[in-house]
Structure 1
């Protein structure tokens, strides 16, 4: 069997193929959206590489599964809604959101209550998870915008998933610092000069 080349040269004209074969400009909002999801997936992989021996909880283990869920979502966005059944693409469901909520609740029960805004940072894992949090929020905003212009192309469950996902990243980042014994840095606004 002949090995396929990584490069195809078919995108040299600034277009790319959707799952169904339709060619669109690489500047298309759909391409930006699933490109952002791919970027988040890479950042989740980087976060996993920072996992220390102290960071033990199924919420950290979930990061690997999350990468597959992000691929599921990206593949659906890369396909026109009317063709998704034809290609039998994997989808996410309400149970994926429930799983995120369960992990968030488990961690929050062990963390000190937040009374102030905190600065992103701390250990490498926490810092990277804060990057993931901001990317998840960006994807949510872009998905809402794309859905408004492209009816039925972004399932409501996907919007809900990204809303919950940023909360998950926030709490797991806090928990990573908690397990490492790193105190959170409280945001202190600049004092006005009298």
Structure 2
């Protein structure tokens, strides 16, 4: 079976509920940017040193499907009947990670570079894409009403990605310092 339908050859696409819209509409741009974000989150989780971070990011990747689906539906009631959707529990999960990681990580007193590790840098890419998606969502929200639960989740997402980037940078730093200490210890033990 072919993956192409030819239905979009004239610049239109179908939303989740079947409504045909222009491909350059704000709605399509918004869920498309969140799709771009999700692909980048998937890439980030492959670079993570922390198994815990990989698992958390993987869970967020699934939530992104629900987020995109709701944005890609004109008739939100129809979507809510047919699919899982973002709830305040999902937002609380992001907040829980943000709060616990903030306590675990060293305090910051200045701006930081966007990533000192590959995973950290990729998560900062995710953060900036998330901000762009959020700006598009806010623009769309001026003419379309969305559930407050979805709005809250989107608002927390970039902060979550920021703290995940910091976590991965810290994991990388600890790993690097540990390797250096082991190397020095080995040299001293061997009499070099």
TM-score by length of 2: 0.85
Unaligned segments of structure 1, at least 5 residues: 183-194
Larger fraction in helix = 2
- Equivalenced residues, count: 174
| In 1, Cα distance between equivalents of 2:79 and 2:73 | 10
- Among residues 49, 59, 63, which one is paired with 1:65 in the alignment? 59
Matching residue of 2:139: 145
- Among residues 163, 172, 182, which one is paired with 1:171 in the alignment? 163
Matching residue of 2:8: 11
Deviation at 1:87, TM superposition (A): 4.8
1:113-163 C-alpha deviation (Å, 9 max, x unpaired): 11111110211100000011111111111111111122x2x2222221122
| In 1, Cα distance between equivalents of 2:173 and 2:76 | 50
| In 1, Cα distance between equivalents of 2:79 and 2:95 | 28
Contact (CA 8 Å) 1:47, 1:128: kept in 2 or not? Answer: yes
Matching residue of 1:160: 152
| In 2, Cα distance between equivalents of 1:117 and 1:85 | 41
Matching residue of 2:182: none
Deviation at 1:56, TM superposition (A): 3.8
Structure 1 residue ranges, 4+ long, deviating more than 3 angstroms after superposition: none
Contact (CA 8 Å) 1:20, 1:83: kept in 2 or not? Answer: no
Unaligned segments of structure 2, at least 5 residues: 175-192
Matching residue of 2:40: 43
TM-score by length of 1: 0.84
